[in-house]
Structure 1
Amino acid sequence: MSSANSSTSSFKLSNFSKDSDISGHESVHKEETSDLAPVDGGAQAWTFVLCSFLLESFVWGLPFSYGVFQQWYLSNPPFDGTSEANINAIGTVGLGILYMEGIFLAFVFQRFPQWLRPMMVGGLVVCVFSLLISSFATKVWHLVVLQGVVYGTASGCLYMPAIFWLPEWFDARRSFASAFIFSGGGLGGTTFPLAANYLLERVGFRWTIRINALIVAIFGGVAIIGVKPRLPIPPVSSRKTTPAADLSFLKSPVFISVGITIFLQGLAYFPVAIYIPTYTVALGHSSLSGALVLAVFNMATVVGQIICGFYCSDYGPYTHVMLFSAILSCVMAYALWGFAHSLALVFVFVVMFGMISGGFSAIWTPAAAEVHASQPWPPFAFFGAWKGLAAIFGPNIAAVLHRDRINGSSAAHSGAGQGGWGGYGFTAIIIFVGSMMAAAAAGSVISSFLRVHKTRTESTAGKGKSRRHARLSLFEYSDEV
Structure 2
Amino acid sequence: MSSTTPLETEDFDYTANRPAITLHSEYTDQPAEEQKHRSHDPYVASFPEGGLRGWMAVAGAFLTLFVGGIEYAFGVFITYYLTHNLRTYSPSQVAWIGSASAFIHSLVGLLVGKLYDDGYYRHLIIFGSTLHVLSIMMLSLCTKYWQIWITQGLMMGVATGCLFQPSVAIVSQYFERRRAFAMGIVQAGASLGGILTPIMVNKLIPKVGFGWGVRSVGFLVFGLLVIANLSVSTRLPSRRRGAATISNFPTIDWKTFFDGAFVATVLGCFFMQMGTSLPYGYITSFGQLEGHISPSLAFYLLPLTFAGGLFGSPIWAYLGDILGVLNVVMFSTFISSGLLATILACKTDGAAITVSILYGFFSAGYQAMGGPVFATLSNTVLEVGHRMGTGYFIAGVATLIASPIQGALLGTDYIWWKPIVFCVLSLVLGVVLMGVGRLLLIKRRGSERKLWKTSFVRL
TM-score (norm 1): 0.74
Distance across 1 between alignment mates of 2:106 and 2:227? 24
**Residue equivalent to 2:29:** none
Contact 1:135 1:210 (8 Å CA) reproduced: yes
**Residue equivalent to 2:64:** 55
**Residue equivalent to 2:150:** 145
Shift of 1:36: 3.5
Deviations 1:174-215 (A, max 9, x none): 666544433322221221121122123333322222112211
1:373 match: secondary structure: coil
Q: 1:360 aligns with which of 366, 369, 390?
A: 366
**Residue equivalent to 1:385:** 393
1:340 aligns with 2:349: no
Distance across 1 between alignment mates of 2:395 and 2:100? 12
Shift of 1:441: 4.0
Q: 1:290 aligns with which of 285, 293, 298?
A: 298
Which one-letter code corresponds to 1:304 in the other structure? G
Q: 1:258 aligns with which of 258, 262, 265?
A: 265
Distance across 1 between alignment mates of 2:242 and 2:440? 43
Which one-letter code corresponds to 1:68 in the other structure? V
Contact 2:287 2:299 (8 Å CA) reproduced: no
Distance across 1 between alignment mates of 2:324 and 2:184? 20
Which one-letter code corresponds to 2:117 in the other structure? Q
How many residue pairs align between the two structures? 412
Which one-letter code corresponds to 1:268 in the other structure? G
Moved more, 236-245 or 129-138: 236-245
**Residue equivalent to 2:111:** 104
Which one-letter code corresponds to 1:32 in the other structure? Y
Distance across 2 between alignment mates of 1:260 and 1:131? 33
Distance across 1 between alignment mates of 2:356 and 2:257? 35
Q: Which structure has the bigger radius of gyration?
A: 1
Distance across 1 between alignment mates of 2:50 and 2:328? 33
**Residue equivalent to 2:95:** 88
Contact 2:168 2:371 (8 Å CA) reproduced: no
Shift of 1:31: 3.8
Gaps of 5+ in 1: 1-24, 408-423, 461-481
Following superposition of structure 1 onto structure 2, how do residues 183-198 of structure 1 map, counting pairs within 5 Å?
A: 183-198=188-203
Distance across 2 between alignment mates of 1:445 and 1:47? 35
Q: 2:405 aligns with which of 389, 394, 397?
A: 397
Are residues 214 and 385 of structure 1, via their aligned partners in 2, closer, same or farther at CA, if it must alter by over 3 Å?
same
Q: 1:429 aligns with which of 412, 415, 419?
A: 419
- Identity percentage of aligned residues: 22
Q: 1:277 aligns with which of 278, 284, 289?
A: 284
Q: 1:155 aligns with which of 154, 160, 180?
A: 160
Distance across 1 between alignment mates of 2:441 and 2:16? 46
Moved more, 288-297 or 365-374: 365-374
Are residues 370 and 191 of structure 1, via their aligned partners in 2, closer, same or farther at CA, if it must alter by over 3 Å?
closer
Which one-letter code corresponds to 2:362 in the other structure? I
Are residues 164 and 265 of structure 1, via their aligned partners in 2, closer, same or farther at CA, if it must alter by over 3 Å?
closer
Distance across 1 between alignment mates of 2:331 and 2:74? 28
**Residue equivalent to 1:313:** 321
Distance across 1 between alignment mates of 2:180 and 2:427? 30
Deviations 1:32-77 (A, max 9, x none): 3859478666666554443332222112x1111111111111111x
2:218 match: secondary structure: helix
Shift of 1:104: 1.6
Distance across 2 between alignment mates of 1:452 and 1:45? 30
Contact 1:97 1:153 (8 Å CA) reproduced: yes
Gaps of 5+ in 2: 1-6, 21-47, 451-459
1:443 aligns with 2:425: no
Q: 2:14 aligns with which of 10, 24, 32?
A: 32
TM-score (norm 2): 0.77
Distance across 2 between alignment mates of 1:231 and 1:455? 25
1:128 match: secondary structure: helix
Contact 1:301 1:354 (8 Å CA) reproduced: yes
1:208 aligns with 2:217: no
Distance across 1 between alignment mates of 2:182 and 2:135? 31
RMSD between superposed Cα atoms in Å: 3.5
Distance across 1 between alignment mates of 2:204 and 2:109? 32
Moved more, 446-455 or 277-286: 446-455
Distance across 2 between alignment mates of 1:42 and 1:322? 28
Contact 2:96 2:400 (8 Å CA) reproduced: yes
Distance across 1 between alignment mates of 2:57 and 2:373? 28
